[in-house]
């Protein structure tokens, strides 16, 4: 319970700081993913991500973090916590094609083997951020790495 309270406070503080800025340097997204994050069968998952566009002139880079939860609808639940580093290909607008590196850890809960921490999560993601007006976006993406095998999904979000 204390962890959820702490995470909520951090998210609120980040959002308040973001709305004080004139430019849209931050983004938050919520999405769904189908992945191979279980030993047996595919898993469905939800992803919550935050990223910040680095303010260096003419730099198409962003940093942030993502939290995701997956379940294979049988006996395995996986929570992932990852830091991310994103590079947008075409230019400095922080939209369009991107490549993203992720690093973090996983918490796996299987029937009979509760809360097994897996200290290594490493992955690469690629996708396309499609702007919908000046504030909203849709982002189809695919990823592969360890401790999961692959994932395919779509995220929608807001820039602020």
pTM flag (> 0.85)? no
Residues 103-150 pLDDT 10s: 999 988 887 676 777 788 999 999 999 999 989 999 999 999 988 889
Host H or E run for residue 17 = helix 2-19
Tokens of 43: 């898993």
Helix (H, G, I), strand (E, B) or coil at 114: strand
Host H or E run for residue 77 = strand 76-88
What are φ and ψ of residue 51, in 5° steps?
A: -140, 155
Residues 35-91 pLDDT 10s: 998 877 899 999 999 999 988 766 789 999 999 999 998 888 899 999 999 999 876
From CA 146, how far away is CA 122, in angstroms rounded?
Answer: 5
Architecture (CATH level 2) of domain 26-159: Beta Barrel (2.40)
Helix (H, G, I), strand (E, B) or coil at 128: strand
Residues 87-97 pLDDT 10s: 998 766 788 99
Domain ranges of the chain: 26-159
Residue 5 backbone zone (phi > 0: left; psi -120 to 50: alpha; other: beta) = alpha
Torsion sign (Cα): 53, 56, 57, 59: negative
What Å distances lie between residue 77 and 29, 46, 112, 113, CA to CA?
A: 21, 12, 12, 11
């Amino acid at each position: 319970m204390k962890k959820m309270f702490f995470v909520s406070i951090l998210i609120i503080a980040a959002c308040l700081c973001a709305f004080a800025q004139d430019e849209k340097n931050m983004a938050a997204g919520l999405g769904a993913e189908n992945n191979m994050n279980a030993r047996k069968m595919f898993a469905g998952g939800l992803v919550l991500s935050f990223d910040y566009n680095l303010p260096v002139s003419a730099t198409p880079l962003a940093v942030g973090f993502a939290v995701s939860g997956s379940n294979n609808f049988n006996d395995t639940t996986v929570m992932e916590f990852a830091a991310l580093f994103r590079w947008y290909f075409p230019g400095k607008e922080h939209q369009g094609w991107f490549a993203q590196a992720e690093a973090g850890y996983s918490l796996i809960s299987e029937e009979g083997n509760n809360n097994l921490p897996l200290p290594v999560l490493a992955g690469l993601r690629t996708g396309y951020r499609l702007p919908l007006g000046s504030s909203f976006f849709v982002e189809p993406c695919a990823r592969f790495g360890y401790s999961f095998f692959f994932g395919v999904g779509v995220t929608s979000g807001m820039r602020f």
